[in-house]
Amino acid sequence: MRSKMVKLAWDELKISEKERQAMTEYLAFLSEGKTERESWQILERWAKKSGFTSLDEVKDFKSGQKVRLEVQGKAGILAIAGLRPLSEGFRIVAAHIDAPRLDIKQRPLYEEEGLAFLKTHYYGGIKKYQWTALPLALHGVIILTEGQKVSIVVGEDEEDPIFTITDLLPHLAKDQNDKKLSEAITGEGLNLLLGHDPSTGEGEERVKSAILNILKEKYGIQEDDFVSAELEVVPAGKARYAGLDRSLIAGYGQDDRVCAFAAWKAIEAIEQPEWTTMVLFADKEEIGSDSNTGMKARYLENFVAELITLQTGTYNGLMVRRAMARAKALSADVTGGYDPNYTEVMDKRNSAFLGRGMVISKYTGSRGKSGSSDANPEFIAEVRRIFDKAKIVWQTAELGKVDQGGGGTIAQYMAIYGMEVLDCGVGILSMHAPWEISSVADLVMMMRGYYAFLAYRN
């Protein structure tokens, strides 16, 4: 099948010392950032260290100046002022930092037959059976009525307990085995096992009461405080290399933190771009980009309005619109990698193969490209030229066979402004599973590719 035309990223790589170091950083980024809030916190910390000043603190936006915007602690944008005025347009790489998981319901805690559980509501596209009988961790925040924020991470430290969702023993799974894969485990059945020691509890539900005592003691919270909490159940444990040759990375949330990380490494390496350069980290992509932290919200537009006002000294709505419409964007997201175990759902001629470099997708969507941005070939030609000049190994792909399903990205919500947008990321195996697999070679190419796009001078 492989023609002589196919280039392997591995053959062209020569990974530098700096890029090796970046892989270590990437593993830490995945291990420590398992929620959108945690991922943004890490990115913000790195950005601060690299000289990105908060928008609230800057007085102007002159060439080379670095500014950052935080959106509700769950999303953000980093920008470096170009040599050209912002109204001439900008370059942006936009990824998302939310990932499929199980959220804790607002009234979650209950006891049954001496066992305490938390009820969950899954977030994003998951295969429910993958979330039973594996070690899970609890990450998130609880906001008390006086505004005090309690941050929680349980299940990551070696001394921590972990959590789990039980599954049925195979001995009694006859009926379960006969069910469809999508129905064998139900959403309401995904209840997190929280404890079962009644000895310090009181009343009719002693286990629940004992758990509440622990919550009060350790975190200062009461049962009602779950109402104003955002608690997420994620796979416990650290991301790590996979494969005897350490050529792959296994970790939770690589859709889309692999692109978020590559976008960060790209802008980190830029000093003075010709056009204003931005990277954006969005939330809520996995559930349709709604809410004030999702890409449908107007924070990019508002940020550009603020920067143009800083640059020109006055608010000019027309200049904002022009800047948005003249922008060029890579919608940085992953796609399904070609999996030799599941060839029946892939079009081999239009798939993303691991190790063959970055992936560009002219369109995404499903049922006849519905929900897709469908990039203009003029812009694709420009991106090809930039990548080829920078010796980036890249391939083109769509998600899978036309009639098998599909998916969207944030590309369409950026295209609204008139900017050119192209989906561009890497292929992932076991996408949306608790542990996803990416290729080291593809990630290194992606860091170089995003840099080439952001730093390109005409």
| Interaction mask 181-220, Mn ion, x per CB under 5 A | ----------------------------------------
Candidate ranges 69-77, 113-121, 330-338, 413-421; the one touching Mn ion (CB under 5 A): 330-338
For residue 432, the minimal CB distance to Mn ion (Å) is 6
Per CB under 5 A, the segment of 176-184, 248-256, 268-276, 303-311 that binds Mn ion is 248-256
Output the smallest distance, CB 405 to Mn ion, in A.
13
Residue 144 structure tokens:
């008390």
CB of 357: closest distance to Mn ion in angstroms? 18
User: Closest distance between Mn ion and the C-beta of residue 335, in Å?
Assistant: 9
Q: Which stretch, 247-255, 310-318, 340-348, 410-418, contacts Mn ion (CB under 5 A)?
A: 247-255
| 36: contact with Mn ion by CB under 5 A | no
Contact 194, 207 (CB under 8 A): no
Contact range with Mn ion by CB under 5 A, out of 24-32, 82-90, 180-188, 253-261 = 253-261
Q: How far is the CB of 13 from Mn ion (least distance, A)?
A: 25
The site map against Mn ion for 288-327 (x = CB under 5 A) is ----------------------------------------
What is the CB-side half-sphere exposure of residue 443 using CA atoms within 13 A?
Answer: 30
Using CB under 5 A as the binding criterion, the count of chain residues that bind Mn ion stands at: 3
What backbone torsions phi and psi does residue 91 show, to the nearest 5 degrees?
-110, 135
Bridge partners, 141 (sequence order): 151, 230
- Kindly tell me which residue out of 70, 98, 333, 398 binds Mn ion, with binding defined by CB under 5 A: 333
Please pick, from the candidates 255, 283, 398, 442, the single residue that binds Mn ion as defined by CB under 5 A: 255
Q: CA 67, 71, 75: angle at the middle one, nearest 5?
A: 90
Contacts of residue 400, Cβ cutoff 8 Å, sequence gap at least 6 = 336, 345, 346, 347, 351, 406
Residue 423 in contact with Mn ion, rule: CB under 5 A: no
Q: From residue 46 to residue 85, what is the string marking binding to Mn ion with x (rule CB under 5 A)?
A: ----------------------------------------
Residue nearest to Mn ion (CB): 256
Q: Is 256 a residue that touches Mn ion (CB under 5 A)?
A: yes
Under 8 Å CB-to-CB from 233, ≥6 apart: which residues?
101, 102, 103, 104, 118, 120, 136, 137, 138, 163, 192
* Interface stretch with Mn ion, choices 61-69, 255-263, 290-298, 306-314 (CB under 5 A): 255-263
**In angstroms, what CA-CA distances link 102 with 97, 194, 408, 451?**
15, 15, 21, 34
In whole angstroms, what is the distance from residue 398 CA to residue 362 CA? 8
Question: Binders of Mn ion among 128-167, rule CB under 5 A?
Answer: none
Residue ranges in contact with Mn ion by CB under 5 A? 255-256, 333
